[in-house]
Structure 1
Amino acid sequence: MPDVETVQQITATYRRLDNRFGGGHVREGIVRFLSDEVAVRIGGKYDINTGRRLLSAAAEATQLAAWSSYDAGMHGLAQRYMIQALRLAAGAGDRALGAEILAAMSHQAAYNGAHVEAVDLARAAGRAAVEAGVAAIQAESAVLEAQGHAVGGDSVSCASALSRAEVIFDKADRASDPQWIGYFDEAYLAAKFGQCFAALGRGEIAQRFAARSLDMDGGEYARGRQFNLALSAIAHAQVGEIEQSAHVGMQAAGAAEGLTSMRSRDYLLDIANRLSKHVGIPSVRDYMERVRPIVERL
């Protein structure tokens, strides 16, 4: 059990670093940890209970390797780590973690525009979450299903899934949640709602959720705050509020300074593309100049 706790604590440390600094900062470290330490422990001898706990801890570490690879733009590698993490979670009999890994796979699929796959994976995650009895993951799965529908342009199915997510989230008892789902709070849910409406071109609604998403711990979740600022800037651009979009975009650019994240770069480029027709406006020119060196670094 001390070995299991070691793996869990080191993984938790890497997760905090990932949230604060981005996947590019931690990916090599967590991969090296998997290879040099986790693999050695899995190859040891242990009783059934310890073995299950160890496999679950290894699955959690492997999922983080996948997530940091995804954030670093290494999508094929991330998918391979996700599949390996899913196998480890299955070996451990950890249905809750298996559901979370499927949800992460849906998240990546939606980001890459594979909306059918995103919906299928989110639904699979939801079924696993029901079996595990973890309402927070059920709500997460529902909002990720909504995002898949939004990416595919299906506003009716998106609205239905969002409504389901909200109902489940409001009724969820979070006291017994696994510690690794602690990030899934009201601010995170609002961000997902905002992303869905932005994907559907409903900037006026996305704005409201983007504002609510910024009610978060911007220190612990620095990358998430940068994403949410970018979402707000995109929503402003969608409704024609160009100067406000550039202003918030500047904040998003500043928040990206300490990050190494390809997703952060992509969001900044999305804002730049939306503002590119308005380079005659001084605030837009300021944004373009501000973001150029950041994008090149990322």
Structure 2
Amino acid sequence: MERQPNRLLQQLIAEAAFSHKGLARRLVDLGAARGTPGLKYDHSSVLRWIGGQRPRDPVPCLLTEIFALRLGRPITTDDLGMPAITTPLDLGQVFTHTWQEGVSTVTALWRADVERRKFLVDSTFAIGAGSVGAVRWLTSPAEGRVGGAGSRRVGKADITAIHEVTRAFGELDNRFGSGRVRSFVVKYLDTAVSPLLKDGTYGAAAGRQLAAAAAELTRLAGWMAYDLEQHGLAQRYLIQALRLARGADNHALGAEILAGMAHQAIYMGQPAHALDLARAAALSAERANVPTLLASSHVLEAHAHAGLGDARSCGTSLHQAELAFDAREPGAEPAWLSYFDEAYLSAKFAHCFRDLGEGERVVRQARRSLDMDHRYVRGRMFNLSLLAAGLLQCGELEEACTTAAQALALAGELQSARSRSYVADLRKRLEPYKRERAVMALNAELAPV
């Protein structure tokens, strides 16, 4: 839609007798004084605003202060021709019905996240939002038309770049924890992916590819928020990743995202909700005919059953996971599933047995889980913690302390709230033995950490 000139702003500038350069300079200075240093605006910025472009927050509010001081009367953003844009507090919690609504929602979520909007930072996990999202994913028809008619043609290189960025950030996340990289992921989504979705020209085929690429990176940003225990924010990202996967008509990706949602629900102590999500993931995995995804879904079902104290159902789901995993065809599945190998599956088994209090089985599976890719530093920390917990359940205190020391040393290298939670869990499990020599030595060794 063609922008209309902002006559109200033009009239205020004339009334205040500001030059365009002078107004821009006052804006930058006031921003620095109000705690927003680094604003970069000049006379050409003011010309664009007069031409109808709306500057990003907090610029409109800063301008009202500048004009009010100059003219000696209150000035509102409406007076500037820049009416306030209200952001719904449930932004990102809704799985929208149409592609265009979905694009508007997810790009607004990225922008609000970049701006560190308080309602996102403080947002809480909502079981209802996740349930509705899963139902809409399962029941919504294939997208009628995924297309864009903007000014920039979206090409193969654009989509490849998103995939490469996702791969690179994923590796950094696994090595260093989400705290070191998540802000860069969100900024890339806002500055590089958002313009492609909103202003790009693409047909149905390219649109599906773009939607899938955006879904993968959005899922990663959600997973990173989960790793930082920003659970409400993580849930919003995962729901929007699921919406993008619907645009891509990609059932495999949808199953992976639902599995991630189940993973988060288990971690948060919501096993009944996790069971629903894991079963939805299994339905999608069956539609996609990807055995590894089906194994992932079943093992999450098992973990949910363990959380509910249902050992029999847990065992049934674990058996289904093994059968599905044995049916996989290496090389025939999505590249982003490469992390799910025998070591990863063993770790999931170990989690189930730990929650059921079956120490010997925890130890057996946790030892297998350590035969893993060395790049997954955070995962190794988790698996060592599992082994230490299992050894404690078996009464092997000295070996448990040796293993715990390795886990805690790795945790010190990570910026990951989940890693800190695993550390807290280990310390709690060791607390009854705090007078034992091995535990005292471990605590002394780790005191500096």
Give the TM interval when normalised to the shorter protein: over 0.9
Q: Give 1:257 deviation, angstroms.
A: 2.4
Contact 1:230–1:271 under 8 Å retained in 2? yes
Where is the helix percentage greater, Structure 1 or Structure 2?
A: 1
- Residue 2 of structure 1 aligns with which residue? 157
- The CA distance in 2 between the partners of 1:10 and 1:87, in whole Å, is 21
How far off its partner does 1:161 sit? 0.2
> 2:306 aligned with 1:150, yes or no?
yes
Separation in 1, partners of 2:406, 2:201: 52
**Matches of 1:7 and 1:225, distance apart in 2:** 27
Query: Cα distance, 1:283 vs. partner?
Result: 2.0
Partner of 2:207: 51
Task: Provide, for residues 54-101 of structure 1, a one-character-per-residue CA deviation record: whole Å limited to 9, x for no partner.
Answer: 011000000000001100111111001000100000011111101000
Instruction: Describe the superposition over 1:158-199 as per-residue Cα deviations: whole angstroms up to 9, x where unpaired.
Output: 000000000110111122111111000000000000110001
Please say if 1:281 is aligned against 2:436: yes
Residue type of the alignment partner of 2:272:
V
Following superposition, the deviation at residue 234 of structure 1 comes to: 0.6
Verify: 1:245 aligned to 2:368, yes or no: no
Q: Does the aligned pair in 2 maintain the 1:272–1:288 contact within 8 Å?
A: no
Q: Which amino acid aligns with 2:245?
A: A
- Residue 95 of structure 1: aligned partner: 251
Q: Does 1:236 align with 2:401?
A: no
Moved more, 40-49 or 161-170: 40-49
Contact 1:268 1:291 in 2 (8 A): no
Q: Which residue of 2 aligns with 1:255?
A: 410
RMSD: 1.1
Aligned to 2:81: none
Look up the match of 1:184: 340
Moved over 6 A (4+): none
Matches within 5 A, 1:1-298: 1-43=156-198, 44-218=200-374, 220-291=375-446, 294=449
Q: How far is 1:266 from its partner?
A: 0.9
Alpha-carbon deviation of 1:25?
1.4
TM-score (norm 1): 0.96
In the alignment, is the contact (CA less than 8 A) between 1:187 and 1:214 conserved in 2? yes
Show structure 1 runs of 5+ residues with no match: none
Q: How far apart, in 1, do the equivalents of 2:325 and 2:447 lie?
A: 39
Structure 2 residue runs of 5 or longer lacking an equivalent are 1-155
Give the distance between the partners of 2:439 and 2:206, measured in 1 at CA: 57
- 1:161 counterpart letter in structure 2: S
Q: Are residues 176 and 241 of structure 1, via their aligned partners in 2, closer, same or farther at CA, if it must alter by over 3 Å?
A: same
Count of aligned pairs between the two proteins:
293
- 1:251 match: secondary structure: helix
Sequence identity of aligned pairs in percent?
Answer: 47
State how far apart, in whole Å, the 2-side matches of 1:237 and 1:58 are: 43
Q: Which moved more, 1:244-253 or 1:182-191?
A: 244-253
Give the 3-state SS of the residue equivalent to 1:175 in structure 2. Answer: coil
Deviations 1:110-134 (A, max 9, x none): 1111000111101100000100111
